[in-house]
Amino acid sequence: MKRIKNISLVILVIPFLLNLSGCKKDEDPFKDGLEPNNSRNEAFELTLGEQVDASIAKGDHDWYSFSVETNGIIDIAGIAIENLTDEMELTAVLYDSQGNQFGSFTGNAGINMNINLSTRTSSYYIEIYDKNSDHEGKYKLTITLRQAYDSNEPDDTFDDAYIVSSYPSGIITGTILVNASDDNQNGDFEFFVLLINADKAVSFTLTPDADDIKLNYKIFKEDHSVVVEETEGTAGQILQASVGRGTGGSMTRYLRVGATLGGTGNGNYTISFTETDI
């Protein structure tokens, strides 16, 4: 009888030990090496361009922080989230450096997400979780600074304006990444300085690359006072204008170019300058 009791004890103990083994923290398939990152104060700091492999347990919220340095130039930070679990509906929430929410995105079950964040130099937080908090699974996260700006940057202000000193200028290419107009003062403006000789006029032709972009321009004196108020074209319209100088010395004018982007998000354009007698 003693032998039978001992056998029973062994049968009972083995399942118990297996249960404990299944609960060990280092063997939980949904506990990753990024934890604890369950709050903004515990956010895991990301390195741009480096992929992290992450997991979400039921009810889990993963927080990350990242910083971008663009020397004040507007650029695009691409946020790529690869959902590796068919049942999960991942939600990504974006916050500024002070923790203020400014964007929220939810993908369908098992669907990857790609978010384009227009940014200047700043720091951000991103919170990722399952929409319904009842699934667990894995995902991959990568944030990449795309260097989507044009080669004329920085040219977003009067001080950084692109200097046009000779004519014809040839074709100058540019890219507007964010809506910029009188109603969007923090947008991606492109400034040009026009050096205009006496008895000359400088004309420009502003051509959009896409049919759904509305380009606009505004002209300023050297003291930054307005000469020509903002003029906006229709979607896909080519804009042309002229700035002249009568008798007297040469003068300087600033041309500000902006745009309202369409559904394609294509902000590419070309501009050229020519000089004529008046």
Q: Would you say residue 153 lies in a domain? A: no
Q: Would you say residue 262 lies in a domain? A: yes
pLDDT digits (tens, 9 = 90+) for 179-217: 999 999 999 999 999 999 888 899 999 999 999 999 999
Pair (174, 96) in one structural domain: no
pLDDT band at residue 2 using 50, 70 and 90 as cut-offs: very low
222, pLDDT greater than 90: yes
The share of the chain scoring above pLDDT 90, in percent, equals 74
Q: At 228, list the tokens.
A: 């020509």
pLDDT for 235: 98
Contact 27/20 with Cβ under 8 angstroms?
Answer: no
Q: Would you say residue 23 lies in a domain? A: no
For residues 73-87, give the mean pLDDT.
Answer: 94
Q: Domain containing 130: what range?
A: 30-145
Q: What is the CATH number of the domain that holds 112?
A: 2.60.120.380
For residues 143-160, give the mean pLDDT.
Answer: 93
Tell which of 115, 145, 175 closes a domain. Answer: 145
Pair (39, 121) in one structural domain: yes
Output the CA torsion sign for 88, 139, 117, 65.
Answer: positive
How far apart are alpha carbons 55 and 125 in whole angstroms?
18
Amino acid found at 18: L
17, pLDDT greater than 60: no
Count of structural domains within the chain: 2
For residues 94-122, give the mean pLDDT.
Answer: 94
Could you tell me the pTM of the whole model?
0.78
